[in-house]
Structure 1
Amino acid sequence: MSDPKEVSRGVNLTLRYLTFLVGIFIMSIGIALSVYALIGTTPISAIPLVMSYATPFSLGVYTVGINIVLLIFQILLLRRRFELIQLLQIPAAFAFGSFCDLSVWLLRGLDGVAADSYLIQLGLSLAASVVLGIGVWLQVTPRVLTLAGDGAAVALEIVTRRPFSTVKIMVDSTLVVIAVILSLLFFGELLGVREGTVIAAVLVGYVVRLLHRHVKWPAVLSRPGVHGS
């Protein structure tokens, strides 16, 4: 006969991973909205978007690639302190990349909508940041896994002993600078990195904090004693 506590713990863990997957799917919708806004995407998607403009490969393919690179960075940085469970960032990266391509396809009707109106571009960019913030909140609150971008920041936090918020800014800034350089090299102008990138950098964190403060679920899933967790 099954132990009720083990069953409850299994249900809890399943709910947490499902919440994580829903979170990264919603994140991908936010990223797709920022793509069609035409005024810059999020820091983690900046390099993939620039490279997708410059080559035949998709945003999702490069999203997987940048996440794998950031995972390798974590392994090199942490060495023996790297937790093997974080290798689950690999399937998470493939899921996230696939969701990004799917969301870009699902929202393809927005292609060209913002081309002649800065107000529409700004509106889509703001909407993208809000949606992305909701996705990030759903991704991080179950506390089962992180995408490689946040994982890299956690690794730097461990090694440098600096606050997570500080090293997160360092990671994001580095990704944006690389994207800017690539954009200038390939196109001689800024594509994929503009004021929308700054909007995302500021607004996403605000949305996440607001939701953490006022919405108890799904954070309650990861609290000790809840459903046997």
Structure 2
Amino acid sequence: MTNNKKDLLKRYLIFLAGLFVNSLGVALITKANLGTSPISSIPYVLSLNFALSLGNFTIIFSILLIVLQIVILGKNFKPESLLQIPVSIAFGFFIDFSMILLNALNPQMYAAKVAYLLIGCLILGVGVYMEVLADVVMLPGESFVRAVVARWETEFGVTKIAFDVSMAVIAAAASFFLARELNGVREGTIVAALLVGFIARTIGKKLHFLPGMLFE
């Protein structure tokens, strides 16, 4: 096996591992019952009101984001970006598996919920860092933001914040419409939005030497 193929294999293995770690973080944040991460908020609200699982709605929502990327980018949409489809399916199954693994976790005290939330954010931040480190495929949420940036030449950071806020607002509106109360979007959604990216960036800075050690 050539060095390039070995590097690519390592990258995909790291990405898949990061995807699973990511799903564990999402599941733990969700089990804290203080809201979930912004990108998962719409699938979570839908899962609370319909028969499909969080993982299944995550897959459906991800496919929608991929379709929107195609609409936004048109002929500039790259065929390799269709790899987001199997990645989304795997991520959805990982989320459902992680929810089953953590089924026994049902914190009642607020302090315990906050602890689970913070640990979940840390785990999710590690998963995001692993996906960035692999640098092979992006999840549809980030790819959608990049598509908007490419199409309208906006600033990535501002666009990402606007996207996260939009997801939370839409999820809250859907919750009020479907259940006549706010479920699935709470203070934990805000905490996750602020912490996860910060954790991933901090890990990246601390382990700046790692890509050079792992890849040729």
Q: TM-score category by the smaller chain? A: over 0.9
Matching residue within 3, 8, 11 for 2:6 = 11
> Which residue of 2 is the match for residue 133 of structure 1?
125
The answer to whether the Cα contact below 8 Å between 1:142 and 1:221 also exists between their aligned partners in 2 is no
**How far apart in 2 are the matches of 1:160 and 1:48?**
27
Q: Which one is further off, 56-65 or 186-195? A: 186-195
Pair 1:196 & 2:195 matched: no
Q: Which amino acid aligns with 2:79?
A: L
Structure with higher Rg: it is 1
Identify the residue that residue 169 of structure 2 maps to in structure 1. 177
Other structure's SS at 2:112 match: helix
Aligned counterpart in structure 2 of residue 220 of structure 1, from 202, 212, 215? 212
Which residue identity lines up with residue 207 of structure 2 in the other structure?
V
Contact 1:152 1:171 in 2 (8 A): no
SS of the residue aligned with 2:104? helix
* C-alpha displacement of 1:217: 6.0
| Bigger shift: residues 128-137 or 165-174 | 165-174
1:91 aligns with 2:86: yes
* Cα distance in structure 1, aligned partners of 2:204 and 2:137: 17
In the superposition, relative to structure 1, how do residues 80 and 65 fare at CA in structure 2: closer, same or farther (>3 Å)?
A: same
d(CA) in 1 for partners of 2:75, 2:125 = 33
Unaligned runs of 5+ in 2: none
How far is 1:216 from its partner? 3.4
Match for residue 186 of structure 1?
A: 178
What is the letter of the counterpart of residue 124 of structure 1? Answer: Y
Identity of aligned residues (%): 37
Moved over 2 A (4+): 216-222
Distance verdict in 2 for CA 1:162–1:221, change over 3 Å: farther
2:100 corresponds to: 105
RMSD between aligned residues:
1.4
1:221 is displaced (CA, Å) by: 7.1
Classify the secondary structure of the residue corresponding to 1:12: helix
2:61 is matched with 66
Q: Which among 25, 42, 61 is matched to residue 47 of structure 1?
A: 42
Distance 1:164 1:158 in 2: 9
Q: Is the 8 A contact 1:43 1:173 kept in 2?
A: yes
CA deviations on 1:144-169 (whole Å, 9 max, x unpaired) are: 11000000000011011112111111
**Residue 77 (structure 2) aligns with:** 82
Unpaired runs of 5+ in structure 1?
Answer: 1-5
1:56 to 2:51 alignment: yes
Residue 189 of structure 1: CA displacement?
A: 1.8
Q: Which amino acid aligns with 2:137?
A: L
Note the C-alpha offset of 1:188: 1.9
TM-score (structure 1 length as normaliser): 0.91
Count of aligned pairs: 216
- Give 1:159's aligned residue: 151
